[in-house]
Amino acid sequence: MLLNESLKTELKTVHFIASVSLYKKYCGSLIGMGWSLLNPLVQLIVYFFAFGLIIKVPIDNYFVYLAAGLLPWTFISSSLINSATSITSRKGTCQNTAMPHWIFVLSDISCELFATLIAMSLLLAVAIVTSDNALMIVALIVPVLLPVVIFTYGAGVVMAYLGVLYRDLPHLLNLFFSVMFWLTPIVYHWTMVPKSIEVIVKYNPFAMLFGSVQVLLHGGAAPTLDLMIATYVIALTAAAAGITMARRIGNKLIYAL
């Protein structure tokens, strides 16, 4: 019971610190949380203009397809890059409180999640209106998005701990995600990939995580069981790695701050 109470307090702390971060981020801004919507929307319009209107990627309802990949992608990449500095950027606080360091990581990711969910809810509305299988989309959206969220929280904790030891990590992650963006079927469909490099796209964990979201929101179909199992395996592996690091390392990295 003591452990449960302690965990409950820690999760409340995550929620509070995330809300403080949001308050700080948008306080004094003209449109406040509207930026959470405007940023991904402008990004979507730019990619739609380039690939939908100019290059004319042959995918029906391309805007929804693009959004179904781009929104989760932005959530994962921003969260993991920010996580790599979640602990190092709070050196002073970490050195004066006994609070578990992973709380900061989860708080930062929760901020990103909040912004993503706002944009995602709009996408969901569009997908429901444009699809013949609205009920299925509503029923499956949570099970499909859940692995994306679990993966990000787990991998974020890993990145945060590694980021304390290896200060080059945020820069490396920036490069990594710049490359992975083009190796993941976000602006194109995986069937358009040449056979010679298909394996890279096929076994790319991000492609699997987003694949189920794209199948549901764009295709209006339920993802295959194989795909769902694969996404949950990826997500739970990341979560297990994050929990193991948090338990084994705890606050010991304070000496490296």
Partner 1 sequence: MDFDITAPAGAVDEQDGDDSVNIMAPTAFEQLMAQRDTEVHTSNASVSLDRVDVIFGQHVYRTVKGVLVGMLRGTPKEVMTGRKVLDAIDLKVSPGDRLGIVGHNGSGKTTLLKVIAGILPPVHGTRNVAGSIAPVIAQGLGFEPDLPLRLNIKLGLAYSNRLPQHSRDLEDAILDFAELTEFADAQFQTLSSGMQARLTFATSLFQTPDILILDEVFATGDANFVRKSQAAMMEHIERTPIVILVSHSAGLIRDVCNRSILLDHGRMVEDGPTDKILDIYAQRYG
Q: 171-174, long-range: CB within 8 Å, 24+ apart, which pairs?
A: 173/77, 173/80, 173/81, 173/84, 174/81
Q: Which one, 99 or 128, has the nearer CB to partner 1?
A: 99
* Cβ atoms < 10 Å from Cβ of 119: 22
Q: Which is nearer to partner 1, 6 or 121 (CB)?
A: 6
Q: Could you tell me the end-to-end alpha-carbon distance of the chain, in angstroms, rounded to an integer? A: 33
> Which of 29, 55, 93, 146 is the binder for partner 1 (CB under 8 A)?
93
- Tell me the window of 38-46, 69-77, 161-169, 183-191 that interacts with partner 1 (CB under 8 A): 161-169
CB atoms within 10 A of CB 241: 15
* 165 part of the interface to partner 1, by CB under 8 A: yes
Least CB distance from residue 20 to partner 1, whole Å? 6
13 sits near partner 1 (criterion: CB under 8 A): yes
Taking CB under 8 A as the criterion, the residue among 53, 167, 182, 202 binding partner 1 is 167
C-alpha torsion 14→20→21→27, nearest 10: 160
Reading the block at residue 220, the tokens are: 């209006």
Task: Show contacts with partner 1 in window 220-239 (CB under 8 A).
Answer: none
Give 17 or 215: the residue with its C-beta nearer to partner 1: 17
Instruction: Give the nearer residue to partner 1 in terms of CB position, either 18 or 186.
Output: 18
Length of the chain measured in residues: 257
**Does position 255 bind partner 1 by CB under 8 A?**
yes
**Does 97 engage in binding with partner 1 (CB under 8 A)?**
yes
Neighbours of 11 (CB within 10 A): 12
Burial annotation 20-50 (CB, 10 A radius, 16+ → b, else e)? ebbeeeeeeeeeeeeebeeebeebbeebbee
Sole binder of partner 1 in the list 49, 166, 182, 203 (CB under 8 A) = 166
In terms of CB distance, is 28 or 194 closer to partner 1?
28
Among 145, 138, 136, smallest CA distance to 222 is for 136
Indicate whether 251 belongs to the interface with partner 1 (CB under 8 A): yes
The span of 12-20, 113-121, 135-143, 193-201 binding partner 1 (CB under 8 A) equals 12-20
Phi/psi at 18 (5° precision): -65, -40
Binding partner 1 (rule: CB under 8 A), the pick from 4, 96, 191, 196 is: 96
Q: How far is the CB of 164 from partner 1 (least distance, A)?
A: 8
* Residues whose CB falls within 8 Å of the CB of residue 86, separated by 6 or more in sequence, listed in order: 104, 105, 107, 108, 156, 160, 163
Footprint of partner 1 on this chain (CB under 8 A)?
Answer: 9, 12-13, 16-17, 20, 23-24, 27, 90, 92-93, 95-99, 165-168, 250-252, 254-256
